[in-house]
Amino acid sequence: MGKRSLQYFTLSEIEPRVWFMLTGCNFCCKGCFRPARDGGGILLSAEETIERMERACLNYYAKVPSEAMITGGEPTLDKAYLLRLLTGLREKGFEKIVLMTNGYELGVDGDYVHELEEAGLTEAHVDLKAFSEDIHRWYTGKSNKPVLRAIERLNASRIELLVQTIYMPGIVDDAEIEKIAKFLASLNKNTRYRINPFAPTFAYEKVTRRPTLKEMERAYEVTSKYLPNAIISRSCYREYPTPPPQKTWITVYPNLEVRRRGMKDQAEERLSWLSRIRPRESVVGDWKREEWDFKLRHRLVGISEAKKYVVKEEKGSGSGPVKVKFPLALHGLTKTREIELDFDGSTTIGAVLDRLVEEYGEEFREKIMDQGNINIKRSFNVYLNGMNIKNVQDIKTEVHGNDEIIILSWVSGG
């Protein structure tokens, strides 16, 4: 074929980065939440896809990024297209290219992983739905043997690997996840493994309920016995361990129409998709009851990341500069996306903010601090190495050399 349907590009506001949303999938996962699995979009060659991506990025960033995520749907269905896409991205200067896949085709085709590596793929995220063959066939309609082979081949390659599984109470729970952890540890105990909670609101079939915090904690504890790089996180995020939560996305469609989409837009897209198989009123009711539980999400992140943060502190401070990244809402004031600051030893978030006031004036303080100048305004969140400082010690949180701080505006999103 050599062509794939592209639904849209997504552009990051934190730093230049582009996502490719391809449509169509070879799995029929009962709990799928992606309308892209059922097709749609515009049929393009790899060359046409790259040309439109380049125009979109030049229009928004005034340059082509160095990072890309290829997702869907299932991106591996047409090998010729995917290999040409990777080669084209490398030619455009992309240094980090991440593939999000169910892994099936990579296990069926014995040369696929090697060819992806040669074409320039740097990282692969594989969704391992279940370790047990019967559960995997029931849930996806396919055997998991090719997926397990794909993970083995990726582990043996130079492509960086992350494996992720959705915790589904009574289906893929801590017992099943322990089997996955043992399998991954047998290949490489340093394998990065991410456990995401099942969200029934927009699932194609509501096969189970949302897991409780205690269940997720138990899954993490079980997994950590085998894999030190296990984390509890959320679906759809590339960064590791976990980036700031997104409030809006810059979406560019194949005709180069640009829209700022928020979670309500995403919800409407999924509501329209699900309304074809069950009454819209029932889906809307589910959404209104559950919506997006940000408090639970922050607590889930804290299961694994708070522990990693403590370990980092015990190791002592680094010797490099502290990097601070700014949201689009502050670019008019900072005139830059990021800055590096040098400190003599460890410091605090509050001290970093004071330095930024010295750099950009009192207007900077007025922009992000409340009237008492002791708290961050509710319209901003501050993240240290991917963790919200509200989950640590707020502006008293310690900062060390080589740490990264992201200031994220709820208006401009991520």
Domains 3-310 and 317-409 share a fold: no
Q: What is the pLDDT of residues 116-157, one digit of tens each?
A: 999 999 999 999 999 999 999 999 999 999 999 999 999 999
Tell whether the model's pLDDT for residue 309 goes beyond 60. no
Instruction: Write the CB contacts of 35 (distance below 8 Å, at least 6 apart in sequence).
Output: 269, 270, 272, 273
Does the pLDDT value for residue 307 go beyond 50? no
Three-state secondary-structure class, residue 34: coil
| Phi, psi torsion values for 307, nearest 5 degrees | -65, -40
**Between 128 and 263, where is the model more confident?**
128
CATH 3.20.20.70 fits 3-310, yes or no: yes
Per cent of the chain over pLDDT 90 is 53
Average pLDDT of the residues in 375-384: 83
pLDDT at 387: 75
**Banded pLDDT at 7 (limits 50, 70, 90):** very high
d(CA 82, CA 3): 9
Mean pLDDT of 194-222: 87
Instruction: Read off the tokens for 83.
Output: 């290999």
Contact, 124 vs 101, CB < 8 A? yes
Cα-only R_g, the chain:
21
Amino acid present at 367: K
Cis omega before residue 197 (within 30°)?
A: no
Res 333 pLDDT > 50: yes
**Residue 319, exposed/middle/buried by CB under 10 A (0-12, 13-18, 19+)?**
exposed
The distance of Cα 232 from the centroid of its chain, to the nearest Å, equals 12
- Give pLDDT, residue 328: 77
Domain 317-409 sits in CATH 3.10.20.30: yes
Each domain of the chain, given as residue ranges in start order, spans 3-310, 317-409
pLDDT tens, 271-305?
A: 776 677 666 666 666 555 554 444 555 556 555 55
Q: Mean pLDDT over all residues of the chain?
A: 84
